[in-house]
Amino acid sequence: MSSVRPGDHKAYMQLALEHARKSPPKPTNYRVGAVLVDLATNEILATGYTLELPGNTHAEQCCFMKLAEKHGVSEENLKQVLPPELALYTTVEPCSKRLSGNLPCVERVLRLAGSIRTVYVGIMEPETFVAENTGRLSLENAGISVVHVEGLEKDILEVATAGHVRG
């Protein structure tokens, strides 16, 4: 069980923000945090943050990679071992394109459609690196709700863009 009350979306987003703060500031990426929650038990299944694991990794990617390793399956087969009602909290909207060539986070979430029912986001992705992020639309088209958790936007943006050159 989590110490966060079930349905306390702002508290889960604050937890995701705490993880985002662990990410090293760089001018070429956002510092993002993610938390995956089993809605039936209110258990936090995994957390992640940008660059937590080797290979230019994003927060959601780290979350799923760690969970796959814990269950001894590939990330592609993760859905087979997950509970049926999950929520993903991420400080910044999942990316729909990766300039590094890695699989976009939206594609990773879509592989878990049916298990992940809702993605809660702190802010929509600014257009700094990828103009016109289509992540939200792709998720909603797959039946995954995207819900903006209000109230932490200023803090999330400040953490996300730490290390960026201000013009």
Asked if 17 and 30 count as a contact pair (C-beta separation under 8 A), the reply is no
Confidence band, pLDDT 50/70/90 cuts, at residue 130 = low
Name the nearest CA neighbour of 89 among 127, 159, 39. Answer: 39
25: in domain: yes
Query: Helix 9-20 crosses helix 59-71 at what angle (to 10 degrees)?
Result: 100
Q: Is residue 31 part of a domain?
A: yes
The tally of domains found in the chain comes to: 1
Q: Which of 18, 43, 60, 127 is catalytic?
A: 60
Domain CATH code at residue 34: 3.40.140.10
Whether 3 is in a domain gets the answer no
pLDDT, one tens digit per residue, over 62-106 is: 999 999 999 999 999 999 999 999 999 999 999 888 777 789 999
Q: What CA–CA distances, in Å, run from 159 to 36, 49, 78, 145?
A: 20, 12, 30, 25
2 within a domain of the structure (yes/no): no
pTM (whole model) above 0.95: no
Strands, sheet with 145-148, edge to edge from the N-terminal-most edge strand: 43-49, 33-38, 86-92, 116-123, 145-148
State yes or no: is 60 an active-site residue: yes
**55 part of a folded domain:** yes
Considering the domain boundaries, does residue 28 fall inside one?
Answer: yes
